[in-house]
Amino acid sequence: MKAGAKRLLDDLRRARVLVVHPQDEDGTALVAHLNRLGCEVRRLWPLPPSIPSDIDTLFVLVDEVPVVDQLSTMLDEKNPAIIAIVTYESPTSLKAIIDLNAHGVISKPMRPLGVLTQFALARYRHGYEARLSGKVAKLEDTLKGRRQVEKATKILVDLNKIDEDAAYRLIRDQATAKRMTMRSVAENIISVSETMSELGMTLAPMPKAEL
């Protein structure tokens, strides 16, 4: 077995799966197939009051609107990979798939062929979205930090009557001297400035050593 395929199967076997499906032939067939793959599987019906905290993959029947509405609320605090199970294509089931942001779809009647593909695809998509969200959050945090530095730079420009390059160097030098990030120094400057403004006071120009 190639290394890539082995990693894929190992990932599926480490999955902690919840199957939300009636106790019927299709539900039993799905659980049996997942058990054969070697992953940890739990099966519940009807939908429980909450999704167990250790679940990372969810197979759920989306034919019933109340189930979808309840699940959407629960998922505000959870973030599992979701594989929607549909009995037939309809506007209702398609809307449910979109509302849940399902990472994969399986149709009934249940057949083993396709379950593994959707399982693997869903977990890959879920992981990709998580990595992408992390990158976006990091980028947003970086941009926020830059805006804080720009705002603090303007405060120093107005306060000390210096140009932007000189004000930026003051922040940079203080960050280096105090072993802080430039963002932290900028936030301190902004906080002091805003506090003084709220008190109806104005900061006096500060020498470099006191920034």
d(CA 104, CA 137): 25
- The answer to whether the predicted template modeling score (pTM) of the entire model surpasses 0.85 is no
Rounded Cα distance, 98 and 90, in Å: 12
Report the alpha-carbon distance of residue 9 to residue 7 in Å, rounded: 6
Measured distance CA(147)–CA(164) in Å, rounded? 14
Give the per-residue pLDDT at 8.
Answer: 80
Region class of 82: left (phi > 0), else alpha (psi between -120 and 50), else beta: beta
Angle 154-152-146 (CA atoms, 0-180°, nearest 5)?
105
Secondary structure class of 43 (helix, strand, coil): strand
**Which of 43, 42, 32, 37 is CA-nearest to residue 8?**
37
Domains defined for the chain, CATH in brackets: 3-131 (3.40.50.2300), 139-210 (1.10.10.10)
pLDDT at 201: 63
Ordered mean pLDDT values, 10 residues apiece, the chain (211 residues): 74 92 91 91 89 92 82 82 90 88 91 88 92 93 94 90 90 92 92 81 55 43
171 φ/ψ angles, rounded to the nearest 5 degrees: -65, -45
What is the pLDDT at residue 92? 84
The pair of structure tokens assigned to 176 is 């280096």
Q: What is the largest CA-CA distance in the chain?
A: 78
Q: For residues 107-141, b (16+ Cβ closer than 10 Å) or e, as one string?
A: ebebeeeebbebbbebbebbeeeeeeeeeeeeeee
Q: Which residues, including other chains, have CB under 8 Å from residue 134's CB and lie 6 or more apart?
A: none
Long-range contacts of 143-152 (CB under 8 A, 24+ apart): 145/181, 145/182, 145/183, 145/186, 148/183, 148/186, 148/187, 148/190, 149/182, 149/183, 149/186, 151/186, 151/190, 152/185, 152/186, 152/187, 152/189, 152/190
